[in-house]
Amino acid sequence: MHNIYEATGIMKNTKLCKVEDLKEEKALVIKGDNKYLPGIIIYKGTTSIHIWYNNCPHANLTLDLIEGKVQSKNNDLLCANHGAKFNPETGECMKGPCKNSFLTIFPFKIINNYLIAGN
Ligand code: FES
């Protein structure tokens, strides 16, 4: 990976969404202008927000088989390809073919209630 912005297709300082657009314990997939790049997964937990590179460490595929749909169930993020389950707050694979590996963090900050790419 050259850098996280080129890898995801989401450039630094991109406005991603508003904090209030996020639903608790749900995953939101956002892509950049180049739809062939995997984009990011935004997850809002009960107390914090996390953003991950939309790339499963098992086979370097996006977690969403159906574009934009990453399931979050029982506080897990699921990879639709072979069923890996990730802890959405730590990125760790808890179950599945890449157990104990991690999703890659995508840096962001919150300014005026907007999530902005880059720290
Ligand atoms: S690519 Fe995600 S579990 Fe295989």
Give the integer Cα–Cα distance in Å for 69 and 11: 22
Pocket residue to mutate for ligand 1, from 58, 71, 95, most atoms within 8 A of Cβ: 58
| Spacing, Cα 75 to ligand 1 middle (Å) | 18
19-77: pLDDT as tens digits? 999 999 999 999 999 999 999 999 999 899 999 999 999 999 999 988 888 998 878 99
Per-position DSSP letters for 18-66, written without gaps between them: EGGGPPBT-EEEE--S-TTS--EEEEE-SS-EEEEES-BTTTTB-S-SS
| Spacing, Cα 80 to ligand 1 middle (Å) | 7
Residue-level pLDDT at 91: 97
Q: Which atom of ligand 1 has the smallest separation from the CA of 59?
A: 1
Give the integer Cα–Cα distance in Å for 99 and 117: 28
First to last CA, the chain: 18
Summarize the confidence of residues 86-97 as an average pLDDT.
97
4-117 under CATH 3.40.50.360, yes or no:
no
Nearest of 77, 15, 25 to residue 49 by alpha carbon: 25
Residue-level pLDDT at 1: 66
Provide the sign of the torsion angle of the four alpha carbons 55, 65, 24, 117, taken in this order: positive
| Spacing, Cα 114 to ligand 1 middle (Å) | 31
Q: Whose CA is nearest to atom 1 of ligand 1?
A: 59
Which tokens hold the place of 115?
A: 């999530």
Summarize the confidence of residues 84-101 as an average pLDDT.
97
DSSP lists the bridge partners of residue 43 as 27, 50
